[in-house]
């Protein structure tokens, strides 16, 4: 039996007045019983002098105790051993804090379904989950898979071979191929693109659009906001998609589709970078990799992995808290100035 009652993730329906309640939602999450118990089991305690101070403490504490990546990618990070009691508390806390299995979408219809890319395996099962949601009665006007010009590596190529997917050269190719499979799309897309992803991936971009009856399906890769330093990150891609591809506007609704362990931090980032700046409702659902039908894609959650994603959620909660505070202080801020850098 779970030890903790579920703690609701921040809720944003696009109304400006909801920025105030976002502060309360973040405060409730960061000061919740699961957070306090996690800290107790690892030798910490909230200062209790205010939400901003608690979040700063959690950020610093988690950097010391719960950051196992050391600059590596998630799939490159080996599990860290923990004691049995810590393992139990971490698993129960993670589920209560919103890192659990898939949840049902709140609305019956969304303007946009936004599928986040990743490794080829993630592209395959997230796009399939999005297609299942629509087949099950969730309505949408547009479905977009976002990826980047990250060259496909060993784990990607292995997953593509196992599932028979022609994933192409880059992550955006894999999300496009996965969308075509999930939504049974035939034919060629309308393509707009620029730059050379081989020579200057930070400056390259691509939009592939498929018209499939009532739903428009797209695959999008964006240029980087720091093209000389790195490829585009998720925030760059979402801004490009919002501004240049779909003209995201107040009154729109966005359903973000990801993997369950990442739901909390990606939901907060979506509100901070899309919901608040553009005035649109944000919901996020995650498919649980531990329950996938393919044994080669199935991934068991580890306690140290959960702790890593709780740290990610803490950092995103901190960004969201600042973004909501800024929106309250300056409600007429532009999209560019309201969105926080990562």
What pTM, to 2 d.p., does this model score?
A: 0.92
Q: Provide the token pair at 60.
A: 């610093």
pLDDT at 300: 83
- Judged by DSSP in three states, 136 sits in coil
Q: How many residues does the chain have?
A: 342
CA dist 281 and 12 (Å) reads 6
Pairing mode, if any, of strands 190-194 and 205-212? antiparallel
Which contacts (CB < 8 Å, 24+ apart) does range 24-31 have? Answer: 26/51, 26/55, 26/317, 26/320, 26/321, 26/324, 27/51, 27/54, 29/97, 29/98, 29/317, 30/54, 30/55, 30/58, 30/314, 30/317
> Tokens representing 24?
């309360």
Helix axes 120-135, 171-182, angle to 10 degrees: 30
Phi, psi angles (nearest 5°) of residue 170:
-125, 165
DSSP state of 31: T
pLDDT, tens digit, 9 for 90 and up, residues 225-247? 999 999 898 889 989 999 999 99
Maximum Cα–Cα distance across the chain: 59
Q: pLDDT tens across 159-180, in order?
A: 899 889 988 999 999 999 999 9
What stretches in the chain show pLDDT beneath 50? Answer: 1, 333-342
Yes or no: say if 183 and 214 are a contact pair by the CB < 8 Å rule: no
Give CA–CA dist 314/320, Å, rounded: 10
Give me the pLDDT at residue 341, please.
30
pLDDT for position 104 = 87
Q: Do the Cβ atoms of 93 and 87 come closer than 8 Å?
A: no
Residue 75 is predicted with a pLDDT of: 52
């Amino acid at each position: 039996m779970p030890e903790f009652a579920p703690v609701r993730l921040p809720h944003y329906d696009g109304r400006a007045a909801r920025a105030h309640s976002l502060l309360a939602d973040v405060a409730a999450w960061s000061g919740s019983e699961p957070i306090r118990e996690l800290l107790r089991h690892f030798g910490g305690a909230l200062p209790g002098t205010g939400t901003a101070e608690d979040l700063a403490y959690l950020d610093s504490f988690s950097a010391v105790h719960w950051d196992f990546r050391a600059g590596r990618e998630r799939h490159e990070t080996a599990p860290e051993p923990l004691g049995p009691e810590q393992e139990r508390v971490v698993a129960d806390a993670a589920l209560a804090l919103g890192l659990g299995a898939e949840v049902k979408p709140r609305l019956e219809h969304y303007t946009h379904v936004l599928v986040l890319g990743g490794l080829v395996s993630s592209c395959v099962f997230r796009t399939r989950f999005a297609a299942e949601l629509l087949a099950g009665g969730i309505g949408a006007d547009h479905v977009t898979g976002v990826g980047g010009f990250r060259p496909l590596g060993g784990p990607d190529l292995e997953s593509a071979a196992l599932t028979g997917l022609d994933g192409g050269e880059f992550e955006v190719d894999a999300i496009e191929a996965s969308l075509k499979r999930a939504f049974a799309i035939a034919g060629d897309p309308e393509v707009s693109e620029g730059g050379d992803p081989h020579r200057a991936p930070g400056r390259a971009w691509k939009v592939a659009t498929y018209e499939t009856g009532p739903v428009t399906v797209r695959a999008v890769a964006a240029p980087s906001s720091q093209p000389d330093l790195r490829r585009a990150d998720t925030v760059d891609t979402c801004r490009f998609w919002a501004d240049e591809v779909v003209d995201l506007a107040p009154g729109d609704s966005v359903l973000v589709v990801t993997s369950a362990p990442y739901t909390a931090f990606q939901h907060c980032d979506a509100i901070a970078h899309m919901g608040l700046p553009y005035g649109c409702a944000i919901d996020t659902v995650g498919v649980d990799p531990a329950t996938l039908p393919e044994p080669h894609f199935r991934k068991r959650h580890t306690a140290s992995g959960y702790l890593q994603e709780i740290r990610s959620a803490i950092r995103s909660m901190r960004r969201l808290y600042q973004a909501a505070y800024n929106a309250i202080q300056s409600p007429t801020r532009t999209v560019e100035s309201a969105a926080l850098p990562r």
